[in-house]
A and B are shown apart, each in its own frame.
Chain A
Amino acid sequence: MSAPLLELREITVSFDGFLALRDLNLSLQPGELRAVIGPNGAGKTTFLDVITGKTAPTEGDVLFQGRSLVGRAEHRIARLGIGRKFQSPRVFEKLSVQENLALAVSRPKQPWPLLFGRLGGQERERVHHLMGIVNLQSRADWEAGALSHGQKQWLEIAMLVGQDPDLLLVDEPVAGLTDEETDLTADLLKSLAGDHTVLVIEHDMEFIRRLESPVTVLHQGHVLCEGTMDQVQADPRVIEVYLGTSEEEQS
């Protein structure tokens, strides 16, 4: 086994004594596609916050390509090659679809090149390509704020892909999407794996199944178990904490 791309070691996050994450260990191999599930409040989003520098872990260390991420500013972590899509879509609402994507693909992200340079031909092509992938060409000049919820989800996914990170952290990408869009999103994420490492958080079990990836179950800030979707669903502990309730909700 090669060296992991990302490694979380004994991560604990305490919010005023409440342990959102407890001794969390997790590692991702380069090129891997991994799904993370868990009931509401299990700490899934918090765990992305720790990787991306939004929340500092109370204890433990996060290693990316062998380097510790703890204590680094968010934009530096992003520049190391870690991109993130937020749980509720966060796009820049007053910018057009095109402008949102142009910011994502721009490199470098320093003030002076952005002030003096224009968007290069290659970058412009990438923006068009991305709009094609998420089916937003006809909305290129729309303010992102005018898009539907699902379109915003896709725009943010396109922005994440446009950033071209080595590691994509995707928090609930298909909430609010139609079944067809959900399937397309699953295919898109699967096609990215290999060249990229992708970690997906979702509640939608059909979607997770379609990813055909190893699944990690998080519960009360701790890894409950790992395995294929079938193994996980058969695990009595998982049924108890998660699937038991979620099946009722979903029916």
Chain B
Amino acid sequence: MFQRFQQSRWPQLLVWVLIIAAIVAAPAVLPVFRLNLLGRFLSLAIVALGIDLIWGFTGLLSLGQGIFFALGGYAAAMYLQLNSSSGFPNGIPEFFGLYGVKQLPAFWQPFHSPLFTLVAIWLIPAVLAAVLGNLVFRNRIKGVYFSILTQAALLVFFNFFNGQQKLINGTNGLKTDVTQLFGQMVGSPEMQRGFFWFTALMVIAAWVFVRWVVRGRFGDVLIAIRDDEPRLRFAGFNPTLFKTIVFAIAGGLAGIGGALYTVQSGIVSPQYMTVPFSIEMVIWVAVGGRGTLVGAILGAVAINYAKSLVSEAMPQSWLFIQGGLFILVVTALPEGVIGWWRSDGPRNLLTRLGITRRIGTYPQLELDGQEEVQP
């Protein structure tokens, strides 16, 4: 019975109904503070979807997604700062005054345009990811070397952004909560409610998009790259192209997530490019379930929600819990929670606890009628 329940499609449907019900109900039942947190975690779910695409499906473990996340955030923040700077000296964002900068740096200029900004939020990270990725992939750098390189790139960006006071306010980052959008304060409850709805829609859009990418033969090629890349070459496929494309997509998704996260937390700063944060992103996907898109979303939201609750109650303990969670997943649930569910995990657990009986026959045994049993 349980097995039937698990194998039919409707548990999956149920998960989705629950997710959507939670999203719809959230603004009504949650105080603005909690709603805002949920909105931020949903932005992180968009990043996680990208990580699932490159890691879960294609086998590329990037520890540098924070770069693309932060770039999306900076793009959004630059527009908002420009949009609200008419009252400041020289008509440029206030922080420039601290460093005696009188003229807007040239690369800020295009961010006057809302349209440019909307495109830049995902296109700049995607193009950067494509360029960096292509350099690495064409040289056939794989596995742990790829991971180390992405982390090194993250450190380079982190240090660069930290040091550039005169360009982007260095360590302090760019604030967005007191900026204006559509004539309203970005940090106001009404705006935050709007961002929540928009983020929820974007999560679903991102899910639909990534699902479309991984379905069909393109997705099959990604899985083939993950499992046996050299073999795929001899079949006439060029893995470099496929890897570059999905790494760019993941970069773009991280940029969108970063922009939405920024407007809902009120600031973007180089802190978004720290090493631990990018590793956390990977942990969300590992816990939720690599290669299961719902797992990436649930992992990102659930872990971050747990983090905020635990940190409020016992500020020091979260790191231990997160570490324990990661170890648990690596040792006991290598497929993550959703992967465990799909691969008969719950029934095996019940069996082990003695709640259901072990099935005596081999469930996949199939007689194809060719062998006659001789008496």
Contact = CB atoms under 8 A, between A and B. Distances in A.
Nearest to B238: A75
B245 A111 contact: yes
A84 B234 contact: yes
Interface in B205-252: 213, 216-218, 220-221, 223-224, 226-228, 230-239, 241-242, 245
B220 A115 contact: no
Nearest to A162: B235
A94 B235 contact: no
B312 interface: no
Given A111-B242, A115-B213, A138-B368, A102 B220 contact: yes
- Of B228, B233, B239, B242, the most chain A CB neighbours within 10 A belong to B233
Contacts of A102: 217, 220
Contacts of B242: 111
A167 interface: no
A74 interface: yes
A114 B234 contact: no
A6 to B, nearest CB: 16
B236 A79 contact: yes
Contact of A92 (B216, B223, B241, B364): B223
Interface string A51-64: 01010000000000
B48 to A, nearest CB: 21
Q: How large is the interface on A (under 10, 10 to 19, 20 to 34, 35 or more residues)?
A: 20 to 34
Contacts of B237: 75, 103, 109
Nearest to B246: A111
Contacts of B234: 52, 54, 74-75, 78, 83-84
Interface in A152-170: 159, 163
Contacts of A111: 218, 221, 241-242, 245
A251 interface: no
A23 interface: no
B149 to A, nearest CB: 22
A93 interface: yes
- Of B232, B235, B242, B245, the most chain A CB neighbours within 10 A belong to B235
Interface in A106-132: 106, 109-111, 114-115, 118-119
Nearest to B212: A115
B297 to A, nearest CB: 22
Contacts of B231: 86, 90, 92
Contact of B220 (A74, A83, A99): A99
A103 B224 contact: yes
Contacts of A54: 230, 234
A84 B235 CA distance: 8
A73 B233 contact: yes
A45 B229 CA distance: 19
A146 B365 CA distance: 12
Given A103-B217, A111-B245, A92 B236 contact: no
A104 interface: yes
A75 B218 contact: no
A75 B236 contact: yes
Contacts of B238: 73, 75, 109
Contact of A110 (B224, B226, B230, B241): B241
A95 interface: yes
B79 to A, nearest CB: 31
Contacts of A138: 368
A106 B237 CA distance: 10
Contacts of B223: 92, 94-95
B368 A94 contact: no
A73 B218 CA distance: 21
Contact of A78 (B217, B227, B233): B233
- Of B224, B241, B245, B368, the most chain A CB neighbours within 10 A belong to B224
Interface in B172-228: 213, 216-218, 220-221, 223-224, 226-228
A114 B217 contact: yes
19 contacts: A52-B234, A54-B234, A74-B233, A75-B234, A78-B236, A83-B234, A84-B234, A90-B231, A92-B231, A94-B226, A99-B217, A103-B237, A109-B235, A109-B236, A109-B238, A111-B245, A115-B216, A138-B368, A146-B364
Given A54-B234, A75-B239, A102-B220, 8 more contacts: A54-B230, A75-B236, A92-B227, A103-B221, A109-B237, A114-B216, A114-B217, A163-B236
8 tightest A-B CB contacts, nearest first: A74-B233, A78-B236, A115-B218, A114-B218, A92-B224, A114-B217, A90-B231, A75-B238
